[in-house]
Amino acid sequence: MTLTFQTQTVDATWGCAYQQVVDTPGLQNVKLCFVEVTNLATFAAVITRGVLDKSWMTSLDPIDYMSYDMTVTETANKLVGIFQATSTTGTLGADFGELMVTMISAYALEKIFSHLRLPIAELWKPKLSGNEGFDFHTTCPADLVNFGEAKYSSNTNPYTLAISQAEDFIDHEKHFRDGVHLKSLVSSNCVKNLTGKQFGMVAAFSIQGKNPDLIFANAAKSAAALAAKNKVNSIYLVGVK
């Protein structure tokens, strides 16, 4: 399988660079993109501001606002501690690694495929008792909610784990369990489509190898196999370096 990487776009304000990966005609409903963190300190500062920004809550009704307020505050403070430690030391730990994959993937989908980023799930659905479900969510121009699973590894390329975990969550309807929260965060058309079981999936994963085109080609084959099962409308793969 031959994949073509489009020209890279550099964003100094986010400390990253991103590009779309053009797939072969054999891939149906699978879209790929690649994003590289080029300045770790800049990126950590940006996402610190992002998790502290509670402007998305202003449109919530009063009950929803009160329900989320303390959870968001407590979780944001915890995340800021992780970000600041990374920014200070310049080292990439496992906790920051998964948050990096989560937040930079949603950003890349926004820039490349015109998605709308939602606040990361940990802000409004903290993982207090194990793996609660999807890590992040976006909506796309087709008014579909896209459920994202992010995996980070310091020595492997965990695309298989990201794809299989996301599929397992869908099989256990954890995307529908998010609906009680999402109905307050997305448009009525997105809610309508989700009610009709129309949605997308994102598998985001870190890349450690020096040959990302080969890694993407293998990941695309796995995603294509899942797409053929018709469990989701579309699948996005995001590789993060």
Q: pLDDT tens digits, residue range 194-233? A: 999 999 999 999 998 778 888 888 898 889 888 889 899 9
SS3 152: coil
Instruction: List 200's β-bridge partners, or say none.
Output: 146, 234
pLDDT tens digit sequence for 168-189? 999 999 999 899 899 999 999 9
Cβ-count burial 18-50 (b if 16+ within 10 Å, e if not): bbbbebeeebebbbbbbbbbeebebbbbbbbeb
Could you give the CA distance from residue 109 to residue 140 in angstroms, rounded to a whole number?
A: 9
Could you give the CA distance from residue 95 to residue 100 in angstroms, rounded to a whole number?
A: 9
Q: What CA–CA distances, in Å, run from 89 to 8, 75, 85, 86, 153?
A: 28, 22, 6, 5, 19
Could you give the CA distance from residue 21 to residue 240 in angstroms, rounded to a whole number?
A: 13
- The C-alpha torsion from 168 through 172 and 173 to 174, rounded to 10°, is -70
What are the two backbone dihedrals, phi and then psi, of residue 224, each rounded to the nearest 5 degrees?
Answer: -65, -35
Question: Strand 30-37 vs strand 234-240: parallel, antiparallel, or unpaired?
Answer: parallel
Identity of the amino acid at 117: R
Non-local CB neighbours of 226 within 8 Å, separated by 6+ positions: 163, 167, 201, 232, 235
For residues 227 and 30, the answer to whether their CB atoms sit within 8 Å is: yes
For residues 18 and 8, the answer to whether their CB atoms sit within 8 Å is: yes
pTM of the predicted model as reported, rounded to 2 decimal places: 0.91
Could you give the CA distance from residue 57 to residue 47 in angstroms, rounded to a whole number?
A: 17
User: Which segments of the chain are extended strands (E)?
Assistant: 4-5, 9-11, 16-22, 30-37, 116-117, 136-139, 145-151, 200-206, 234-240
- pLDDT score of 129: 43
Share of the chain above pLDDT 70, in %: 93
Could you give the CA distance from residue 153 to residue 165 in angstroms, rounded to a whole number?
A: 15
pLDDT tens digit sequence for 53-104? 888 888 888 998 988 888 888 888 888 888 877 766 666 667 788 888 999 9
- pLDDT score of 25: 63
- The C-alpha torsion from 149 through 154 and 158 to 162, rounded to 10°, is -10
What pLDDT band is residue 127 in, cutting at 50, 70 and 90? Answer: low
- DSSP 8-state class, residue 8: P
- pLDDT score of 18: 94
